[in-house]
């Protein structure tokens, strides 16, 4: 259960809510240019673009949930159980595991346009990180300030969608969300006018009535619509503090509060953390469920020519 968004207002921003019922050992992780990235089937990258994001704390490979590289290309993986399908590796084409996708794309490419060159040969294959960590069922959002794509590895193969909304949640597949948005095309942030019947004198009785019908539940379909409405109707001065504040307000509108979403196992899904990354500056902002104080890490304040992962406990 997660929500990912893009936001452009002067600078380009990318981030997400990570909604889980437990921690995955997350830490803000900077991968410098000379940290060797070893891929199970795709060789190795000895030198690559530097990147910053939230990853499972691991000093052998950056297991990113989301990240942005020094060129402003960003990517996030979101839970996609029941639909994600990874075939066995057969040593043809570009084969990546689900935990390698973000590091490979952000290490290799500077833009979505560049990344498109490899998508026709890409296969996400069924190789676990370890015996204790099976391949996570994910789909991905890849974006820069110009374009946004969704990548879904399903039984029919890898599906690639242009994403004009700049929003991604979870199941169903993206094609459903794209069609479902048309059910809400009459919503407006403005005061509505009477389209019900010309002969009836119907007038708004309060502000905000134009968005009556905007879903407020925590389902992935509803979060997609709500996040898109908030994003595309948001207004903020085009400066850093206002943009970052606005970004987190949008994420807060689809955040999960402990006790409001109970899993089949009887646990509670919560918004474990929320983050926002500035694609131009490489600054990573985040807050956690139990600490709403906004913390900031600037990857350019670190040695980006190093060869060791830089792990910042949260």
Residues with active-site annotation: 2
Residues 6+ apart with CB under 8 A from 17: 2, 3, 4, 251, 254, 255, 256, 271, 273, 274
220-232 and 240-252 helices, crossing angle to 10°: 150
Distances in Å between the alpha carbon of 83 and those of 123, 171, 224, 299?
15, 8, 17, 35
112-119 and 101-108 helices, crossing angle to 10°: 120
- Residue that the structure tokens 């700049």 belong to: 166
Length of the chain: 314
Distance of CA 132 to the CA centre of its chain: 25
Q: What angle do CA 292, 293, 294 make, to 5 degrees?
A: 105
Distance of CA 249 to the CA centre of its chain: 16
Read off the tokens for 159: 């599906």
Read off the tokens for 36: 């060797």
User: Comparing C-alpha atoms, which of 91, 179, 108, 97 is closest to residue 142?
Assistant: 108
- Residue that the structure tokens 């089937």 belong to: 41
Say how many Å lie between the first and final Cα of the chain, rounded: 21
Helix residue spans in 120-192 (DSSP H): 174-180
């Amino acid at each position: 259960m997660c929500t990912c968004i893009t936001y452009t207002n002067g600078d380009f921003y990318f981030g997400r809510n990570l909604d889980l019922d437990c921690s995955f050992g997350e830490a803000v992780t900077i991968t410098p240019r000379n940290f060797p990235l070893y891929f199970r089937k795709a060789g190795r990258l000895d030198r690559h673009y530097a990147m910053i994001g939230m990853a499972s704390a691991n000093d052998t490979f950056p297991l990113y949930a989301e990240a942005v590289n020094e060129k402003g290309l960003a990517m996030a993986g979101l839970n996609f159980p029941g639909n994600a399908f990874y075939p066995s590796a057969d040593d043809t084409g570009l084969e990546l595991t689900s935990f390698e996708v973000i590091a490979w794309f952000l290490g290799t490419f500077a833009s979505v346009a560049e990344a498109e060159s490899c998508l026709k040969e890409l296969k996400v294959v069924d190789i676990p990180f370890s015996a204790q960590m099976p391949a996570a069922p994910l789909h991905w959002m890849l974006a820069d300030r110009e374009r946004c794509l969704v990548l879904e590895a399903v039984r029919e193969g890898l599906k690639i969608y242009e994403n004009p909304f700049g929003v991604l949640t979870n199941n169903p597949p993206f094609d459903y969300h794209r069609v479902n948005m048309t059910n809400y095309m009459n919503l407006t942030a403005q005061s509505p006018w009477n389209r019900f019947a010309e002969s009836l004198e119907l007038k708004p009785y309060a502000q905000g009535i134009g968005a009556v019908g905007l879903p407020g539940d925590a389902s992935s379909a509803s979060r997609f619509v709500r996040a898109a409405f908030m994003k595309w109707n948001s207004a903020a001065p085009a400066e850093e503090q206002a943009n970052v504040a606005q970004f987190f307000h949008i994420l807060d509108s689809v955040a999960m509060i402990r006790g409001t979403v109970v899993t089949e196992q009887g646990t509670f899904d919560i918004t474990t953390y929320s983050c926002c990354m500035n694609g131009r500056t490489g600054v990573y902002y985040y807050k956690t469920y139990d600490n709403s104080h906004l913390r900031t890490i600037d990857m350019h304040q670190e040695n980006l020519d190093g060869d060791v992962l830089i792990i910042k406990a949260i």
